[in-house]
A = this chain, B = another copy of it.
């Protein structure tokens, strides 16, 4: 076995407008770096965490990376021990799948170290165990795109069904993270638990349109379909300036703009005819105009998922 491996697992945008809870995609940046080294202690340890501002636990039972890795090793009947060195290179609690990236990085690294006994799809349930720790339920809409790359649709949770969707050539993403806190619980609490059948069926028409647009590189359809009339209006109240930011994105050529995950990050998708840097600057400026500092990322859609950055002997 190699004596160490350093990997990157990408941040992800879940929900994707109309497709609340069923679609996500991966970014090229930001994301997490993780170094994994085998140990002789028959146990998974979290040795160090950088870039988290001291927030994350190093207790293996309370860190998504170690929880996911332990789930994987237990399932394989392996007693191999590993040491985790985590470098958060993305904001926590940002709605960009921070906990998912850590979990994916750990199990991807271990699978590489063990000479790939499992396929990416087979790794997914273990990454979802990390999400159970982080969110209280085993969501797949961040871990699946982080692990598989591209756009990932989750047609069903019971049983779990996952399908990757094509990425149209020339599609890119902008993500802007404002320095405000949105608690995941608040983001859940603002949602109305009952919605009208009419608004639901309009929404599933748009979800169908969004999926079709990815298969056909139909940017006009993509732009018309992204619109979320159910979750976004409820959650927008938690993000000061959201509608100004969205307007800035659309006025500067974005196909659509909505809340990433449960926020506060805001994402936009751009077609071949628009300039993601221009969109990113306009969105960032809209936050700054109301005195909210913000960080912007522009990225093509990440088709690969996690990658090995460095591999020891």
Question: What residues of chain A have their CB less than 8 Å away from a CB belonging to chain B?
Answer: 18-23, 153-157, 159, 161, 163, 165, 191-198, 200-212, 215-216, 218, 221, 224-225, 230
Nearest-CB residue, chain B, relative to A163: B212
Nearest-CB residue, chain B, relative to A166: B215
Q: When chains A and B are docked, how far (Å) is the Cα of A192 from the Cα of B21? A: 23
Contact B211 A208 (CB under 8 A): yes
Contact B206 A208 (CB under 8 A): no
A208 to chain B, nearest CB (A): 5
Q: When chains A and B are docked, how far (Å) is the Cα of A212 from the Cα of B153? A: 9
Give the chain B neighbours of A20 by CB distance below 8 A: 201, 204
Q: When chains A and B are docked, how far (Å) is the Cα of A200 from the Cα of B199? A: 10
Give the chain B neighbours of A221 by CB distance below 8 A: 155, 161, 163
Nearest-CB residue, chain B, relative to A215: B215
| With contact pairs A191-B197, A200-B200, A201-B22 given, residues A156 and B224 touching in the complex (Cβ less than 8 Å) | yes
Give the chain B neighbours of A192 by CB distance below 8 A: 197
Q: When chains A and B are docked, how far (Å) is the Cα of A210 from the Cα of B155? A: 8
Give the chain B neighbours of A23 by CB distance below 8 A: 208
- 17 of the cross-chain contacts (CB-CB < 8 Å) are A20-B204, A21-B205, A22-B208, A23-B208, A155-B205, A155-B206, A155-B212, A156-B205, A156-B224, A161-B209, A161-B221, A161-B224, A163-B209, A193-B197, A193-B198, A204-B204, A212-B215
Q: Name the one of B22, B154, B208, B230 contacting A155, with C-beta atoms under 8 angstroms.
A: B208
A24 to chain B, nearest CB (A): 12
A12 to chain B, nearest CB (A): 17
Contact B201 A155 (CB under 8 A): no
Task: Output the residue of A159, A161, A201 with the most chain B CB within 10 A.
Answer: A201
Give the chain B neighbours of A194 by CB distance below 8 A: 194-197
Give the chain B neighbours of A216 by CB distance below 8 A: 163
A159 to chain B, nearest CB (A): 8
Shortest 6 CB-CB distances between A and B: which pairs?
A: A155-B209, A22-B205, A204-B204, A200-B200, A204-B207, A215-B215
Contact B205 A208 (CB under 8 A): no
Q: Name the one of B156, B209, B218 contacting A209, with C-beta atoms under 8 angstroms.
A: B156
Q: Name the one of B191, B202, B208 contacting A208, with C-beta atoms under 8 angstroms.
A: B208
